[in-house]
Amino acid sequence: MARRAEPGEPLKSAPRPERVAAFRLGLSAESRAAMMLMAKGYRIAARRWKTPFGEIDIVARRRRDLVFVEVKARERIDDAAEAVTERTKRRILAAAEFWLSRHVDDANCYIRFDVILIAPGKLPRHITNAFDATR
């Protein structure tokens, strides 16, 4: 249930339409990516897992592999690929370390960082081992 504003408290403005559209595109892209991973035999351990360092889009498992997946959706696949910056990688690495601190049994898994690129009208592109944990 939404919280009512107290008298004299400024009302929160509605999100801008472009932000709402971007949020919906992201959710749709993450759903497509999760379905693709499941079709490849992965089990989804978490989606949109929030940490103090940022969010991990998808955490997936297949056999002894534990995969942290970043999903990027843009109008073009190349633009999605360019959106995976060094800052993005650092955020995912920090969030993955936080995951491992909370799920100690996963420390024995093979850890991998993948990226799934999504563009309208194109099949998702799954890049395995898109980057490694070296900084």
pLDDT tens for residues 57-93? 999 999 999 999 999 999 899 999 999 999 999 999 9
74 lies in some domain: yes
45 lies in some domain: yes
> Residue 60 sits in which domain range?
41-131
The mean predicted confidence, pLDDT, of the chain is: 86
Query: Whole-prediction pTM value?
Result: 0.80
What does the alpha-carbon distance between residue 94 and residue 97 come to, in Å, rounded to a whole number?
Answer: 5
21 lies in some domain: no
Q: Which of 47, 70, 50, 64 is nearest to 130 (CA)?
A: 70
As beta bridge partners, residue 67 has 60, 112
Q: Tell me the backbone φ, ψ of residue 64, rounded to 5 degrees.
A: -95, 5
31 lies in some domain: no
Handedness of CA 117, 22, 92, 134 (dihedral sign): positive
67 lies in some domain: yes
30 lies in some domain: no
82 lies in some domain: yes
* CATH number, position 66: 3.40.1350.10
As for how many domains the chain has, the answer is 1
